[in-house]
């Protein structure tokens, strides 16, 4: 497939259409950071489509902060260096969830992995902030690896995603990108990994497909808890 790379204004306009209703977003000057926030906004759209309500909190437990600040580099969920914000997702009758950008998660083997976008059980997230530990993989409901590239993706990215999801589990673990690559697609299909290429605000059909995949993850969660 040809690479359809959105510019940073495309990404900001797309996520502002969802997030700015809550508070102004502290925009990054880097497109790859904006792409992660854009995919967070798709997670929120998917949750709302499944009946959730959403509000924001910061890592100091302040609800409805005046500005939404997201990580531009990975850090721990318990970091207090900046007032990073996360979405709180509420489904009636189910435990609360938090959606974060750029947090570390602990895998089955004790290895720490970066999750570009992670939906975490709120009780787990609160425990982690109180005890300075990383969320466990079993408490991560959805994880999204986000890749914004101007060229085709190489097989190395596929191998890295397979390695990560071998440790974190592959259920509701997604690789979303604006780009693709034939070798990448083959290896992910062979290893039965969830992926979707061409996800940008410039392609409403692919955007809708990404939301559909995320909705399935939330449906799984609701089926277990409601």
pLDDT in tens, 151-162: 999 999 999 999
Report the run of H or E that residue 121 belongs to, with start and end: strand 112-121
> pLDDT at position 1, please?
53
**Residue 205: which residues within 8 A CB-CB, separation 6 or more?**
none
DSSP label of 127: H
- In the chain, what are the domain boundaries? 8-225
> pLDDT at position 142, please?
99
DSSP label of 57: E
Taking the alpha carbons of 50, 78, 111, 147 in that order, is the dihedral positive or negative?
Answer: positive
Taking 50 as the pLDDT cut, the residues of the chain under it are none
Percent with pLDDT over 70 in the chain: 99
Residue 50 tokens read as 């499944």
> pLDDT at position 81, please?
86
> pLDDT at position 109, please?
79
Residue with tokens 């690559």: 181
Instruction: Confirm if 218 and 50 have CB atoms less than 8 A apart.
Output: yes
Instruction: Confirm if 141 and 217 have CB atoms less than 8 A apart.
Output: yes
> pLDDT at position 2, please?
63
> pLDDT at position 61, please?
87
> pLDDT at position 226, please?
79
> pLDDT at position 195, please?
97
Residue 25 tokens read as 């977003």
Using a cut of 0.85, tell me whether the model's pTM lies above it. yes
Strands 112-121 and 97-106: antiparallel
Strands 173-177 and 194-197: parallel
């Amino acid at each position: 497939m040809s690479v359809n790379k959105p510019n940073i204004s495309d990404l900001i306009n797309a996520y502002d259409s969802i997030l700015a209703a809550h508070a102004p977003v502290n925009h990054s000057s880097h497109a790859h950071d904006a792409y992660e926030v854009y995919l967070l906004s798709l997670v929120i759209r998917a949750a709302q489509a499944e009946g959730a309500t959403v509000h924001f909190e910061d890592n100091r437990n302040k609800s409805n902060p005046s500005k939404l600040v997201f990580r531009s580099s990975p850090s721990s969920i318990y970091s207090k260096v900046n007032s990073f914000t996360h979405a709180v997702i509420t489904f009636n009758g189910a435990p609360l969830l938090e959606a974060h950008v750029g947090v570390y998660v602990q895998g089955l083997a004790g290895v720490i992995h970066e999750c570009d976008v992670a939906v975490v059980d709120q009780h787990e997230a609160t425990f982690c902030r109180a005890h300075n530990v990383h969320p466990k993989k079993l408490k991560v409901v959805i994880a999204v690896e986000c890749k914004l590239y101007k060229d085709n993706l190489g097989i190395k990215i596929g191998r890295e995603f397979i390695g990560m999801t071998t440790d974190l589990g592959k259920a509701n673990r997604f690789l979303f990108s604006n780009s693709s690559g034939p070798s990448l697609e083959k290896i992910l299909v062979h290893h039965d990994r969830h992926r979707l290429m061409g996800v940008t605000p410039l392609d409403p059909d692919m955007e809708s497909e990404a939301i559909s995949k995320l909705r399935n993850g939330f449906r799984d969660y609701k089926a277990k808890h409601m």
